Amino acid sequence: MKTNKIKIIIILLLIFSSFSYAQQNPFMDYVLSWDGESSILEVELTYSVSQKDSTVFIFGDPDFGGQNDIFNTIKNIRVSKPEELRLDEANRRITVFHNGAKKNKISYEIDGSFNVDKPTVASQTELFRPVITKGMLTMVNIHFTMKITDESNPLVSFSWHKYPENFTYFNSVQPSQKNPSMRFTDNYDKLSHILYFVMGDNIDVKEYNVMGVPYYCVTTIEDRYGNDLQGNFIPFFESYFPSIHRFWNDTDFPFYSLTVTALQNNQKEIGAGGFGIKNGFVMKLGKKFDTREKYVTAHETSHSWIGIKMMLGHDSFDNQWFGEGFNDYITIINLANSKIFEKEDFLNYMNEDNFKKHYKSEIKGVHNDSIAAKYWTDYANYGVLPYKRGLIYAFYLDNQIRLASNGKFTLRNMLLDLHALRRTKKHDEILTVDDFIDVGAAYLDKKELAEQIAQHMIEGQPIDFTNIKLIDEFDIEINDGVPKLSLTGNSDLLKIYRW
């Protein structure tokens, strides 16, 4: 009896302390409403005040998709007396003067109207916009939430007050939550990663279990391109994702979501676009799902390791030859391993998309440090350069490691060591090019490896394949300075790339 009493007291104390903690914590509570028909999302934000006199919010982010006019989407901003409002559209600043108000609340509307009579000229128009139209809503938190200007890191919660009952709902933070009226909460700094919402009457969410990791596949059901998107992705869940988890020996993910919705435009074909979110990837499709889209899906989801878990340098631009190029090589060999890319697709990707484009590029020899400045302004030349430069070197390095170890080791072994090294470092420590060389020294001559990276990846001199030996299964011939890869005899990609 005595012990029971102590337990009860302890439990009461715990409840009480967590209650008082919740009361003191700064918070932002978003309540959303949409009728499923209109282009208006109604937002009600109740929040705690950290500065006594006023609160300054910033709305929108011109960096997200390069949209500078995002302030046009927010309308009808209101506060209740005694609070007062001041808008500074040029700086996207919204100031609320509290004037002693006990409760702090701001309401506004997000206009996600999409003019279907006006043809879309690029998938980006819709990709980086809130889409709120009859039967369909897709948006990221940047499209409707407020940025705060202090360091209070509040708890942020979202729930839906009004929504169409029969629509399918998905959110990328708590994807298992299917009821929009259920509130979900996270820390403000965690939500600075992108949160994605989908709601619609033409949406299907399928759940998969890939080696213990919950995967969510969110797609439109029907589109004007005749796609069967859920069907298109089955090989990814059955082969590609298991393949890449096995490649990295890593299933340490809370979940992963793949969200692919058709664009609402009325054009015949406007390509596809996408962006990464925390534990997921979002794609918008304005065409038939095809080889290119398979590759994009594989490349983006592969970034969970090289790009997200592992990066060389402080910034993703420092060594894109690794962040993009090595990721791309991992992508393509996993597409081969999972039989989504057969021999022809694999060789075509290596030869047409990489060797040919890279060796014919006028700027193939520019220094690594000159890429970042022209990455976006001259994407066709500079943007694609590190992908191709890095992929070609990864292929070469893989061959070197296989030859030096008589087939015992591959590039995978070196990358697994690098991944292990990453996990021994603290969160704020970075992986460096020197780490890459140190790890590679277990497989190749360290001095040679360091020279190769300096010469080919940093200074940018293209690798001359004329006198380079590859494993017996590969053959390379040079025509007009362009290497062309082929498989010798009956060589089988599934035997070369297996794990």
Alpha carbons 273 and 126: distance in angstroms, whole number: 9
Query: What does the block give as tokens for 37?
Result: 């028909």
Please name the residues in contact with 99: beta carbons below 8 A apart, sequence gap of 6 or more. 82, 83, 84
Please name the residues in contact with 150: beta carbons below 8 A apart, sequence gap of 6 or more. 50, 51
Region of 82-90, 234-242, 317-325, 375-383 interacting with Zn ion (CB under 5 A): 317-325
Q: Are 432 and 312 in contact (CB under 8 A)?
A: yes
In this complex, which beta carbon is closest to Zn ion, that of residue 42 or of residue 324?
A: 324
Alpha carbons 267 and 122: distance in angstroms, whole number: 10
The contact pattern for Zn ion, residues 5-44, with x = CB under 5 A and - = no contact, is ----------------------------------------
In this complex, which beta carbon is closest to Zn ion, that of residue 39 or of residue 304?
A: 304
- Name beta bridge partners: 58: 93, 147
Least distance (Å) from Zn ion to the CB of residue 239? 21
Residue 84 CB neighbour total at 10 angstroms: 13
Alpha carbons 357 and 362: distance in angstroms, whole number: 10
Region of 181-189, 319-327, 434-442, 444-452 interacting with Zn ion (CB under 5 A): 319-327
Please name the residues in contact with 422: beta carbons below 8 A apart, sequence gap of 6 or more. 309, 310, 431
* SS3 label, residue 100: coil
Q: With 0-12 CB in 10 A as exposed, 13-18 as middle and 19+ as buried, what is 174?
A: middle
Least distance (Å) from Zn ion to the CB of residue 498? 25
In this complex, which beta carbon is closest to Zn ion, that of residue 148 or of residue 394?
A: 394
In this complex, which beta carbon is closest to Zn ion, that of residue 109 or of residue 324?
A: 324
Q: Are 416 and 305 in contact (CB under 8 A)?
A: no
Pairing of strands 256-262, 213-220: parallel
Q: Which amino acid is residue 482, in one-letter code?
A: V
Region of 107-115, 214-222, 245-253, 320-328 interacting with Zn ion (CB under 5 A): 320-328
Least distance (Å) from Zn ion to the CB of residue 431? 17
In this complex, which beta carbon is closest to Zn ion, that of residue 326 or of residue 396?
A: 326
Residue nearest to Zn ion (CB): 324
Least distance (Å) from Zn ion to the CB of residue 279? 16
Least distance (Å) from Zn ion to the CB of residue 479? 29
Give the residue among 244, 287, 279 at the shortest CA–CA distance from 258.
Answer: 279
Q: Which amino acid is residue 477, in one-letter code?
A: E
**How far separated are the first and last CA of the chain, in Å rounded?**
59
In this complex, which beta carbon is closest to Zn ion, that of residue 83 or of residue 324?
A: 324
Least distance (Å) from Zn ion to the CB of residue 444? 26
- Helical segments of 163-253, H only: 188-191, 229-235, 241-248
Instruction: Please list every residue from 435 through 454 that binds Zn ion, using CB under 5 A.
Output: none
- Name beta bridge partners: 478: 483
In this complex, which beta carbon is closest to Zn ion, that of residue 29 or of residue 324?
A: 324
Count the site residues for Zn ion by CB under 5 A.
Answer: 1
Least distance (Å) from Zn ion to the CB of residue 386? 10
Q: Are 191 and 141 in contact (CB under 8 A)?
A: yes
In this complex, which beta carbon is closest to Zn ion, that of residue 223 or of residue 324?
A: 324
In this complex, which beta carbon is closest to Zn ion, that of residue 59 or of residue 387?
A: 387
Least distance (Å) from Zn ion to the CB of residue 330? 11
Tell me how far CA of residue 234 lies from CA of 216, 334, 341, 398, in angstroms: 12, 16, 14, 30
Region of 38-46, 251-259, 321-329, 452-460 interacting with Zn ion (CB under 5 A): 321-329
Least distance (Å) from Zn ion to the CB of residue 191? 23
The contact pattern for Zn ion, residues 322-341, with x = CB under 5 A and - = no contact, is --x-----------------
In this complex, which beta carbon is closest to Zn ion, that of residue 324 or of residue 398?
A: 324
Least distance (Å) from Zn ion to the CB of residue 301? 10
Q: Kindly list the residues in this chain that would bind Zn ion in the complex (CB under 5 A).
A: 324
